[in-house]
Amino acid sequence: MQATAPRVLLALATALMLAAPAAAQKISEEQAVATAQAALEAAPVFDGHNDTPGQLRSRLNNQINDFDFTDTLPTADPAAGEGAMHTDLNRLKTGKVGAQFWSVYVPHNADEAAAVQQTIEQIDVTKRLIARYSQAMRYVETADQVETAMRDGRIASLLGMEGGYSIGSNLGVLRQFYAMGARYMTLTHNSNTPWADAATDNPKHGGLTDFGKDVVREMNRLGMLVDLSHVSEKVMMDALDVARAPVIFSHSGARGVTPHPRNVPDSVLARLPENGGIVMVVALPRFINEDLRQWDARRNAEIARLRVVHLGNPEAAATAMDAWLASNPEPKSTISDVADHIDHIRKVAGVEHIGIGGDYDGMPTGPVGMEDVSGYPALFVELARRGYSQAELEMIASRNALRVMRAAEAYAASVADALPIETVINPPAKPE
């Protein structure tokens, strides 16, 4: 028995040694690159949110007949302090982007009628851009059309509305935007709508109003994706209570990594498997890097302090602020930060509920190494380094997004006989 014990221990130790490398072994850089490349070849990136249409409005006043979307690097204007756009056909190709939700965003406008018109203008300019570059892009409205376009080597181009004020608090307008091609709507932007609270505004409604819940129901009936980026946690919960189709977060991170109100709390992530929705992870540095978020708070506090200390002397305040900035350099966000958010969502909700929603051209710059849309392959290499399989990377890149689209379309088909909801938030006054 004494002679057998060492052999048993040796066998056990050998088994543990063989098992340990399988758990702890790191993938080589060559393997990581090969895995990422294979994944993106099989399933190109389906990006949930790009603000190029907003750039066309702010930079060009939507006058695009002479605009070159093949290469937008010359759009930089250093004299005006304006960098180049993040998006063009060359960099989309480098970034392995196969499908794109173009955000037909307009700034928050309390005049909802004006917002309706402006959104129509953004739909127009986006469709015109897609048509001008039909050799590279294809306008699509369904999941099947997305897959066909990608197989044909075209960037499948869809429309997503950002900011519920764009419907003028009217379900008839919502239906017409769907008819124009809008396939998701973000219920709010940075400010509350008359029927939903935003994440970055003081709560007014305590979540969704009754009309807001009807908005979600009607979007489900139509097959329009309900986008919960930008909304308050209570609106997220209310929407999940009402929704009968998967929801999306078109460009958000995980609040468990960076507690920014624009990110998704674990309480909501835990409900995603039951709903079937996805978080399309954002690349905006201030949403994904807590050091940077805290630095912003300190900077803003110092600005306020110096205005008081140098009251009546703005030049002295500016000089002092320059000195503070020199001594307190801005932290940098990296690709690793984006991957950390993906890791967290995978842990809480599962890999089936992760997508990509960069928010390019809606921010000054992306993280170091992902400054523009060309950086997506680097993110997938980082995920491969962390042990994500090719199948998991394909899910994150586009398969999850396609699944969600198909589920929304299937639900709409299942209720095709249901009548449109006719609720209005502000019934017109009766004539006297």
Out of 86, 88, 189, 343, the active site residue is 189
% the chain with pLDDT above 90 = 89
Q: Catalytic one among 47, 51, 233, 343?
A: 51
DSSP secondary structure code for residue 20 in this structure = H
Query: CA 198 to CA 403: how far, in whole Å?
Result: 27
Note the pLDDT tens digit of each residue in 139-162: 999 999 999 999 999 999 999 999
6: pLDDT strictly greater than 80 = no
Q: Which of 56-60, 107-111, 219-223 has the lowest mean pLDDT?
A: 107-111
Q: For position 431, what pLDDT does the model report? A: 64
* Average pLDDT of the segment spanning 80-98: 96
77 belongs to the catalytic site: no
Per-residue pLDDT, 358? 98
Active site residue 68: no
| 205 noted as active-site residue | no
Tell me the pLDDT band of 121, cut-offs 50, 70 and 90: very high
12 pLDDT band (50/70/90 cuts)?
A: very low
CB atoms within 10 A of CB 290: 15
Residue among 141, 214, 218, 359 flagged as catalytic: 359
pLDDT mean over 392-403: 98
In the prediction, which pLDDT does 110 show?
Answer: 78
Residue 21, pLDDT > 60, answer no
> What is the spatial distance between Cα 241 and Cα 273, in angstroms, rounded to a whole number?
13
**What sign does the dihedral 342-348-352-353 (CA atoms) show?**
negative
**Catalytic residue from among 86, 251, 341, 353:** 251
Work out the average pLDDT over 45-54: 98
Q: Where are the alpha helices (DSSP H) in 165-223?
A: 171-180, 210-222
Read off the DSSP letter of residue 249: E
Q: What is the dihedral of CA 132, 137, 142, 146, to 10 degrees?
A: 170
DSSP 208: B
CA 33 to chain centre: 25
Q: Phi/psi class of residue 276: alpha, beta or left (left: φ > 0; alpha: ψ in -120 to 50)? A: left
Specify whether the CB–CB gap between 197 and 140 falls below 8 A.
Answer: no
Q: Tell me phi and psi for residue 154, to 5 degrees.
A: -105, 150
**Please, are residues 36 and 383 in contact by the beta-carbon 8 Å criterion?**
yes
Give 425's pLDDT tier (boundaries 50, 70, 90): confident
Of the candidates 153, 152, 143, 47, the one whose C-alpha atom is nearest the C-alpha of residue 102 is 47
The pLDDT assigned to 294 comes to: 96
Determine the average pLDDT of the residues in 317-332. Answer: 96
What digits encode the pLDDT tens for the residues 53-77?
Answer: 999 999 999 999 999 999 999 999 8
Dihedral, CA of residue 297, residue 301, residue 302 and residue 307, to nearest 10:
140
The active-site residue, picked from 49, 86, 260, 341, is 49
**Does residue 108 carry a catalytic annotation?**
no
Catalytic residue check, 260: no
pLDDT single digits (tens) 252-295: 999 999 999 999 999 999 999 999 999 999 999 999 999 999 99
- Read off the pLDDT band of 4 (50, 70, 90): very low
Of all residues in the chain, the percent with pLDDT exceeding 70 is: 93
Q: Which of 88, 141, 147, 162 is catalytic?
A: 162
Q: pLDDT of 162-204, one tens digit each?
A: 999 999 999 999 999 999 999 999 999 999 999 999 999 999 9
Residue that wins the pLDDT comparison between 76 and 21: 76
> Which entry of 141, 147, 205, 230 is annotated as an active-site residue?
230
Task: Specify whether 359 is catalytic.
Answer: yes
At 335, is the secondary structure helix, strand, or coil? Answer: helix
Helix axes 233-242, 210-222, angle to 10 degrees: 50
Distance from C-alpha of 98 to C-alpha of 394, rounded to nearest angstrom: 12
Predicted pLDDT at 24: 38
What count of Cα atoms within 13 Å lies in the side-chain half-sphere of residue 275?
A: 28
CATH, range 28-289+334-414: 3.20.20.140
What tokens were used for 8? 């048993």
Question: Is the Cβ–Cβ distance between 76 and 83 less than 8 Å?
Answer: yes
* CA nearest to 183, candidates 152, 156, 149: 156
pLDDT in the model for residue 428: 67
Q: What is the pLDDT of residue 7?
A: 41
